[in-house]
Structure 1
Amino acid sequence: TAFDNPDHVDIVVHNYRWRLGLAEGEPQYDELEQRLAKAPVIAVPTITLEGDANGAPHPDPSAYAKKFSGKYEHRLITGGIGHNLPQEAPKAFADAIIQVASLA
């Protein structure tokens, strides 16, 4: 598991520092990071997922629906699901991955 990796703590701490702008990222991804920072419209078919018990601050799905120009669907996953859907709702998460191909 990830926790067995001797570098796990260093990786996690660096990720938090990077997200807060307190550490540099990987230079080979600088160009890609700059492109993504412009928040380009996403043209590929997309399904976004949200747990009904997500306590993290986040916008209403309608606020970001315009960021998708391809076929787009938003799903609210019920049952006390938080923000870690792959672990908390693995079937719904896997279903979305498989079903996004049918949106193409």
Structure 2
Amino acid sequence: MGDANGAPHPEAGACAKMFAGKCQRRIVKGGVGHNPPQESLQAFAQAFVDADRF
């Protein structure tokens, strides 16, 4: 989720109950909006790399 998407950012634990397994939420800083893969490719790709280690 980007820090400039204009949507409310609930507490991290609020979303965890919607997943059966482990989950991790990240907020990409630096003016990123609704499209992190296009607006911040490096941070988006790093999340996938880190997910394998989570």
- Do both proteins adopt the same fold according to a TM-score greater than 0.5, normalized to the shorter chain? yes
Distance (Å, rounded) in 2 between the aligned partners of 1:59 and 1:53: 11
Q: Which has the higher strand share?
A: 1
The runs of 5 or more residues in structure 2 that have no matched partner are: none
RMSD: 1.6
* 1:96 is aligned to 2:47: yes
Distance (Å, rounded) in 1 between the aligned partners of 2:17 and 2:9: 13
- TM-score between both structures, scaled by the size of structure 2: 0.80
The runs of 5 or more residues in structure 1 that have no matched partner are: 1-49
How many residues are paired up?
Answer: 53
Q: Which has the higher helix share?
A: 1
* 1:69 is aligned to 2:20: yes
Report % sequence identity: 45
Larger Rg: 1
